[in-house]
């Protein structure tokens, strides 16, 4: 009986192996023939460009989003993101086999499902995986054998295995046998003219060999190169390393900015001189704080995870503290600059130039300008802002400002007690700023490129 039991177990194992290979082979053929339906969940700064690239490559695409307004805009060929043109959106809306929808029942029709949802922090700076959890539950409700599921959202190592995999397997299907599961971190840099979704290599880690093989085949259809790693955990760690590297180096120059300013040394001059070294140095630049969807958040995902293993991450946490404190430093510099003019920050009108988190985009995610506004209002200042790409400040998880962009005119500049440059959009007339404003507090060193002006310029 024992031998019969062992034989039956061997036969069942072999059946599963053959079934797995058949399912993997069938999906691989669909991918190679560009017949696999690609479902993209989350049509924001990451998901929408990804959906467009797959549509360009000839795949049928279904984009999923809970925001019906966003879905409607995509389906009529309209863009809601500055650096993505309507013509690019029409790569989806202009094809009968591509569409956006808020009906998640259509997930069952997708052969490959890519998760591109936010991974923010809670108010206690801990990972908020609620978007991933709800998305995994939605997929699980419609999961069928032979589908490939890939998480792209930046997160801590172990999320794919511990958060996404269990609900998908709860119905009886097994990852690597009945369906396929992988992690491939997004590497979007909104507005970057040199690198876009289709030109950046993709790191891929799968739950087993077949999962990795299928994920690489899928992404290999739209990117120049795929980089295989041993597991989803390694792929998750890769994205964290990329952004922690930037966070720490930005924190370094932000700290040096404070130190050198006290010594009467221009940090921007020092960076320019150091950049002349052809080896062993890479320039990073200071600013009013960190913004965007990755660098201000990702390091805290790793520090939180490291605490589970009782490992301190002092270096990473210190960098986070320095970068988070930059808005306070900027406002302190502004306060002292006004004091030198015999003015108080309380009651002064401050015109903030730029509220997007970086130059020439309309992306407000984690923008340090939001914290700057909060601090200025706490000090009793009257805040106005100008941003050619952000007409009205959108509500965020933390802030609900009712402010609209004001036109940048000589009269507005003269009426302000101080102009605070937080984002150096290239289309702003900084010569006008320097000639019409009395005091300019510059966090981006943009006024140094203008040359001599009438305004008093203070670096911050």
CATH code of the domain covering residue 83: 3.40.50.720
Helices (H), 65-146: 68-75, 86-93, 130-140
Same structural domain for residues 218 and 344?
no
Q: Say how many CA atoms lie within 13 Å of 35 toward its Cβ.
A: 6
Choose among 24, 47, 459, 51: nearest CA to 260: 459
Q: Which residues of 65-208 form beta strands (DSSP E)?
A: 98-101, 112-115, 148-151, 180-183, 202-206
| Residue that the structure tokens 């998750």 belong to | 236
Name the active-site residue from 98, 112, 211, 294: 294
Same structural domain for residues 42 and 163?
yes
Residue 240 lies in a domain: no
Q: Say how many CA atoms lie within 13 Å of 71 toward its Cβ.
A: 16
Residue 367 lies in a domain: yes
Active site residue 116: no
Give CA–CA dist 305/300, Å, rounded: 8
Q: Contact, 146 vs 179, CB < 8 A? A: yes
Residue 6 lies in a domain: no
Same structural domain for residues 54 and 143?
yes
Give CA–CA dist 351/336, Å, rounded: 16
Same structural domain for residues 78 and 111?
yes
Same structural domain for residues 256 and 216?
no
> What's the structural domain count of the chain?
2
Q: What is the DSSP letter of 160?
A: I
Give CA–CA dist 378/235, Å, rounded: 42
* Phi, psi of 326, deg, nearest 5: -60, -40
Q: Which domain holds residue 375?
A: 252-459
Bridge partners of 189, per DSSP, are: none
Residue 34 lies in a domain: yes
pLDDT in tens, the chain (460 residues): 445 666 566 546 555 555 668 899 999 999 999 999 999 999 999 999 999 999 999 999 999 999 999 999 999 999 999 889 999 999 898 889 999 999 999 999 999 999 999 999 888 888 999 999 999 999 999 999 999 999 999 999 999 999 999 999 999 999 999 999 999 999 988 778 888 888 899 999 999 999 999 999 999 999 999 999 999 999 999 999 999 999 999 999 999 999 999 999 999 999 999 999 999 999 999 999 988 877 888 888 999 899 889 999 999 999 999 999 999 999 999 999 999 999 999 999 999 999 999 999 999 989 999 999 999 999 999 999 999 999 999 888 889 998 999 999 999 999 999 999 999 999 999 999 999 999 999 999 999 999 899 999 999 9
């Amino acid at each position: 009986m024992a031998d019969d039991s062992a034989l039956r177990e061997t036969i069942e194992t072999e059946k599963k192996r053959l079934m797995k290979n058949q399912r993997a082979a069938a999906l691989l053929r669909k991918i190679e023939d560009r017949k696999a339906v690609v479902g993209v969940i989350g049509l924001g700064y990451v998901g929408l460009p990804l959906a467009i690239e797959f549509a360009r490559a000839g795949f049928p695409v279904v984009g999923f989003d809970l925001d019906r307004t966003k879905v409607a805009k995509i389906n009529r060929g309209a863009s809601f993101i500055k650096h993505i043109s309507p013509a690019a959106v029409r790569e989806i809306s202009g094809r009968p086999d591509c569409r956006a929808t808020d009906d998640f029942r259509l997930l069952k029709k997708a052969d490959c499902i890519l998760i591109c949802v936010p991974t923010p922090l809670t108010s206690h700076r801990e990972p908020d995986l609620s978007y991933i959890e709800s998305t995994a539950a939605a997929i699980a409700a419609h999961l069928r054998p032979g589908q490939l599921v890939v998480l792209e959202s930046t997160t801590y190592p172990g999320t794919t295995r511990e958060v996404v995999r269990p609900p998908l397997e709860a119905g009886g299907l097994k990852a690597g046998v009945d369906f396929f599961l992988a992690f491939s971190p997004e590497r979007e840099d909104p507005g970057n003219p040199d690198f876009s979704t289709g030109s950046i290599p993709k790191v891929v880690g799968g739950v087993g060999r077949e999962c990795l093989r299928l994920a690489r085949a899928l992404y290999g259809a739209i990117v120049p190169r795929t980089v295989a790693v041993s597991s989803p955990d390694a792929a998750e760690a890769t994205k964290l390393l990329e952004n922690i590297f930037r966070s720490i180096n930005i924190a370094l120059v932000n700290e040096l900015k404070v130190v050198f300013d006290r010594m009467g040394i221009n940090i921007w001059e020092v960076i320019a001189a150091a950049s002349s070294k052809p080896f062993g140095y890479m320039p990073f630049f200071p600013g009013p704080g960190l913004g965007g969807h990755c660098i201000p958040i990702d390091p805290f995902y790793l520090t939180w995870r490291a605490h589970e293993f009782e490992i301190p991450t002092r270096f990473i946490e210190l960098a986070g503290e320095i970068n988070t404190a930059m808005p306070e430093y900027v406002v302190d510099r502004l306060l002292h600059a006004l004091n030198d003019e015999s003015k108080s920050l309380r009651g002064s009108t401050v015109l903030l130039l730029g509220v997007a988190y970086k130059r020439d985009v309309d992306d407000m995610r984690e923008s340090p300008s939001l914290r700057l506004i909060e601090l200025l209002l706490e000090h009793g200042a009257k805040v106005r802002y100008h941003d050619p790409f952000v007409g009205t400040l959108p509500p965020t998880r933390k802030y609900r400002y009712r402010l609209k962009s004001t036109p940048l005119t000589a009269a507005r500049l003269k009426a302000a007690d101080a102009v605070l440059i937080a984002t150096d959009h290239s289309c702003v007339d900084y010569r006008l700023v320097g000639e019409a404003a009395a005091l300019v507090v510059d966090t981006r060193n943009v006024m140094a490129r203008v040359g001599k002006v009438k305004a008093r310029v203070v670096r911050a």
